[in-house]
Amino acid sequence: MSREKQYNRRQVSGVALAALSSFLLLFTSDEQMAFSSLAPTPDMPPDTTLHIATTSQHTSAFTLGMSDVDTNLIYPQSSEQASQIKHLLAQSSSFTNIHIMGWGADDPWPDPAQPEPTNWSTLDKKLQIALDTGTTPVITLCEAPWWMKGRLNADGSTTRLTKNDDFADITYDARVLDNHMSDWLHLVQRIAERYMAPPYNVRYFQVWNELKGYYNPITNNWDGGKSQGDPTGDNARHGYTYMYNQVYTTLKQVAQGQGIDPPQVKVGGPYVVMDSWASTNAPDRSNVKDQYGALDRRSLNVVATWLAEKLGGDFLTIDGGNVNKDQTNLTDPFTATEKFADVVQWIRSLDPHTYPGATTLPIWWAEWYAIPFATENNPDYNNALKTYTLLQFINSGVSVALAWGYDDLWYANPATPGPWYGSANAIKEHFPAGTPLYKTSSTSQDVVALASKSSVLLINKSLLPHVVDVEGKHVPLRSFQVVVVNR
């Protein structure tokens, strides 16, 4: 079966919403904020009817999590602020993801003269956030100390990192050197031994981040396979799946050595960005396409290669957003988020004999970005768009989505919940994993819904207010409002 399958499963043009995005471009941020509060008048009759199926359609597998990507919680402005933020996280998130280095965490092994990694302070503090919030900890095994890494250049040479490069831009273009793989695996082993044990009890690990350093400028492609490269010298040529397989084996061995049943430790890859293109002339376009554009064939190949060549995997983790790689938008931001569901559908379409796990592995979005193209300063629009994206995850069968950072959950000190917090909290409280869901249809394309036996979440995707008839209840929605009503 071909890795690339064309989808044209929607016939809706999206013209109305595209026009809305253009309309919003006419206004300044202050005017956008004013328009975001447009609400129905008290005498406005229902203009939209929501229909809910009488039997459940499918069961949600979805859980929302957050990635801790800075030092705001380990070095807070005040203990009061930290306490309030942790309370908000506990109410809205179920996973806390931490990278072992970078994004607020120090290098755990900065000195190659030292036989062991010992610099655990910031990583301990970040893992403590998960304990304090009662969320499930996830460790992302990325980045790596400078002395282990190098960048592959277009002329075939490799540039080794220096001590000053530990957190410089070049580190994100570098992979572990082929001849330092044993050092990397030793660091992975020590991290696993420390954090699988109490009190942290980590059981989820993502391997690397966005294939950083695995881009091959010689081939204009990702080195995603299981080649070991050239370990006879300081080369950066091994494939991602080669590294992943050794990390996978190391993590399972540590689990067994600590008396943990290895299947309880979940390891995921390949954490590749699922890029897309608007231009029909883009040479890396695939045939997986819809109104927003076409997915990048190289990203699809990484997923397929990992599925085919991995030694084992417990979940499949990917990354992406609703903005095309060439920064051109063919449709409105809401329609563009339907890319997330298309990626999942493509993965599920792969032949499981050739690509083991394609139809069964839980799918995680390690990072996801729903960008409001024209209204960045409108929190209600931002919330509606993000919540609509969660519906794409839920309806396509995604298991976990990790939001990048916490900032949209609240306003500045003192931490005050924002609109996105309300939606994240509603999903966790009213639609947790295991909830049977009922198919909905709306007489207005502006209003979409998610329904369980006891609750209905409504999203107004429009600048205009609406009044929705939900099983006889009249529910007013101001522009871009998200609400939950009881059935």
Establish if 11 belongs to a structural domain: no
The residue-averaged pLDDT of 393-421 equals: 87
Indicate whether 207 and 352 sit together in one domain: yes
374 and 441: one domain? no
The alpha carbon of 203 is separated from its chain's Cα centroid by a whole number of angstroms, namely 19
Q: What's the domain count of the chain?
A: 2
Q: Which residues pair with 126 in a beta bridge?
A: none
- Residues 381 and 448 occupy one common structural domain: no
Task: Tell me what the pLDDT averaged over the chain comes to.
Answer: 91
We report the CATH number of the domain holding residue 171 as 3.20.20.80
Q: What is the pLDDT of residues 64-93, one digit of tens each?
A: 999 999 998 899 888 888 888 899 999 999
What is the predicted pLDDT for the residue at 265? 98
Q: Is the backbone peptide bond immediately before 367 cis, with ω within 30 degrees of 0? A: no
Token duo for residue 331: 């449709």
For 234-286, the pLDDT digits (tens) are 999 999 999 999 999 999 999 999 999 999 999 999 999 999 999 999 999 99
Q: Which of 418, 433, 448 is the last residue of a domain?
A: 433
468, 392: one domain = no
Residues 371 and 406 in one domain: yes
Which residues partner with 402 through β-bridges?
65
Within this chain, do residues 160 and 41 fall inside the same structural domain, yes or no?
A: no
Give domain status of residue 15, yes or no: no
* 41 in a structural domain: yes
Residue type, 19: A
Judge whether 4 lies within some domain.
no
What band does 409 get if pLDDT is binned at 50, 70 and 90?
A: confident
Please answer whether residues 159 and 234 qualify as being in contact, where contact means their C-beta atoms are separated by less than 8 angstroms: no
Contacts of 423 (CB under 8 A, 6+ apart): 383, 386, 387, 390, 457, 482
- Which of 388, 407, 433 delimits the end of a domain? 433
Its domain, for residue 441, covers 36-60+434-487
25 lies in some domain: no
Q: What is the pLDDT of residue 414?
A: 63
Q: Where a domain ends, among 414, 433, 452? A: 433
Classify residue 30: in a domain, yes or no: no
Provide φ and ψ at 167, rounded to 5°.
-125, 25
Which three-class secondary structure state does DSSP give residue 436?
strand
Say if residue 337 is in the same domain as residue 441.
no
Same domain, 377 and 483: no
Using alpha carbons, list the distances in angstroms from residue 143 to 60, 62, 328. 33, 28, 31
Q: By C-alpha distance, which of 97, 100, 95 is closest to 123?
A: 100
Do 46 and 177 reside in the same domain of the chain?
no
Q: What is the pLDDT of residues 194-222, one digit of tens each?
A: 999 999 999 999 999 999 999 999 999 99
**Same structural domain, 111 and 55:** no
Instruction: Tell me the C-alpha to C-alpha distance, in Å, between residue 222 and each of 10, 138, 211, 284, 364.
Output: 31, 25, 8, 12, 21
Is 12 a member of any domain? no
Residue 376: band (very low, low, confident or very high) from pLDDT cuts 50, 70, 90: low
Same domain, yes or no, for 465 and 379?
no
Asked if residues 388 and 339 have their Cβ atoms less than 8 Å apart, the reply is: no
User: In angstroms, rounded to a whole number, what is the distance separating the alpha carbons of residues 29 and 7?
Assistant: 37
Is residue 13 assigned to a domain? Answer: no
Q: Are 439 and 295 in a shared domain?
A: no
The string of DSSP letters for 26-72 reads TS-HHHHHHHTT----TTPPP-EEEEEEEEEEEE---EEEEE--SST
Element (H, E) at 59: strand 48-59
Q: Name the residue with higher pLDDT: 79 or 363.
A: 363
The answer to whether residue 22 scores a pLDDT higher than 50 is no
Rg over CA atoms, the chain: 23
